[in-house]
Copies of this chain bind each other. A is one copy, B any other.
Amino acid sequence: MSDKAAKKKQYILDIAKGVFAKKGFKNVTMKDIVEACEISRGGLYLYFDDTKEILLECLQGGEQKDDILEKPSAGEALAFYLNEQKKAILNNENDLTVAVYEYLFMCEETGEKESVIKPKIEKNLKVLTALLEKGVESDEFYCEDCEQAARNIIYTLEGLKLASKTIGVTEKEIDTQLLYILSGLIAEEE
């Protein structure tokens, strides 16, 4: 029956993810999730104690693929990576960015540590750094400190993502910025 329970849990997480994507973190109550899932109040507590726990388990799911490195060339890989990021920035369905930031803001106050999120960011950083290093080796990119460059890309993308969730950003603006990032890496080729 643990199998059935796991399915139910996953069902709740799937629905909850949509709720978090739509309403962020702070605004989501246990009641919201109960209603979205069309289960009973007590039923939800059988699986989760609070919204924090639900959000964190929502995040556990989406495993990152590091198969970008398997692309034939680093240039293609980076283009692919940036395009994925663009999609993520533009996509508002099922996007937990806002919820995650609201959660992290709350953690700062309460002093709780972020178990799930930091590792994801660090893994992301590693993959991107590796990608740049590969590009440098193959003379596709020029870059003195690949890790710093990778960090810079991540910060810029995060800034863009936040801007798109708040003040709004056009697709064109995103494209321009992505090109700007790329140009920084290939500018010195000449």
A: residues with CB less than 8 A from B are 22-24, 26-27, 98, 101-102, 104-109, 114, 117-118, 121, 145, 148-149, 151-152, 154-160, 162-163, 165-167, 173, 176-177, 180-181, 184, 187-188
Contacts and interface: CB of A to CB of B under 8 A. Distances in A.
Contact of A104 (B121, B167, B188): B167
Contact of A27 (B106, B163, B165): B106
Contact of A152 (B22, B145, B151, B177): B177
Contacts of A155: 155-156, 159-160, 163, 177
| Chain copies in complex | 4
A121 B160 CA distance: 13
Nearest to A179: B148
Contacts of A154: 159
B184 A109 contact: no
A157 B165 CA distance: 17
B151 A109 contact: no
18 contacts: A23-B109, A24-B109, A98-B108, A101-B101, A101-B166, A102-B105, A104-B166, A105-B166, A121-B167, A149-B180, A151-B177, A152-B156, A155-B160, A155-B177, A157-B159, A158-B163, A162-B162, A187-B187
Q: Select the residue from A26, A109, A165, A166 with max chain B CB neighbours within 10 A.
A: A166
A64 to B, nearest CB: 16
Contact of A159 (B106, B114, B156, B187): B156
Nearest to A26: B26
Given A158-B162, A167-B121, A101 B109 contact: no
Contacts of A148: 176-177, 180
Contacts of A184: 184
